[in-house]
């Protein structure tokens, strides 16, 4: 009940854009700010809904966000207010600490390369691949 996926949202957004561009080739450029704001707000609403349900169900009152998305000020502000409203506290890192996983993956790759561990250039993505 706390799981979520954005694949349906992404598909719906893509189809909306595709259909709108058929009628107006400049649709995206003309509405870029509104499209971005609407998508961001929808994603935040989904995250907020799940987070509030999880906090209430588990009794957890200290909530932390991390990763690149945690640098989003609208997300931080919205979550902080909502957590305060339900008696919980949001902990968000300083922007300089809001890094993406790509940095950690690149670092791991560097050390593997230094250890002589290499992969072929046609290596495919394997989401469940173990790093150790």
Each residue's pLDDT tens digit, 94-121: 887 777 677 778 888 899 999 999 988 8
Question: Is residue 1's pLDDT more than 90?
Answer: no
Which of 2-16, 19-33, 98-112 is most confident? 19-33
Widest distance between CA atoms in the chain: 55
Question: Is residue 81's pLDDT more than 90?
Answer: yes
The predicted structure's pLDDT at residue 32 = 96
Cβ atoms of 43 and 6 within 8 Å: the answer is yes
**Which tokens sit at 23?**
């009628």
Give the pLDDT confidence of 49-59 residue by residue, as tens digits: 999 999 999 99
Residue that has been written with the tokens 């922007």 in this structure = 95
The predicted structure's pLDDT at residue 46 = 92
Q: Please tell me the distance from the alpha carbon of residue 100 to that of residue 130, in angstroms, as a whole number.
A: 19
The predicted structure's pLDDT at residue 68 = 80
| Beta-bridge mates of residue 89 | 62
Taking the model in full, what pTM does it have?
Answer: 0.69
The residue ranking higher by pLDDT, 127 or 122, is: 122
**Which tokens sit at 97?**
């600490």
Angle 125-129-132 from CA coordinates, rounded to 5°: 135
Question: Is residue 132's pLDDT more than 70?
Answer: no
């Amino acid at each position: 009940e706390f799981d979520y996926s954005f694949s349906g949202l992404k598909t719906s957004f893509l189809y909306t854009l595709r259909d709108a561009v058929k009628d107006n080739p400049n649709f995206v450029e003309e509405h870029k700010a509104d499209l971005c704001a609407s998508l961001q707000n929808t994603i935040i609403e989904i995250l907020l809904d799940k987070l509030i349900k999880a906090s209430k169900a588990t009794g957890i009152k200290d909530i932390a966000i991390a990763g690149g998305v945690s640098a989003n000020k609208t997300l931080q502000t919205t979550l902080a207010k909502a957590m305060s409203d339900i008696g919980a506290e949001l902990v968000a890192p300083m922007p300089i600490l809001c890094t993406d996983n790509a940095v950690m993956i690149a670092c791991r790759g560097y050390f593997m390369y230094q250890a002589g561990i290499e992969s072929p250039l046609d290596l495919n993505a394997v989401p469940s691949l173990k790093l150790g």
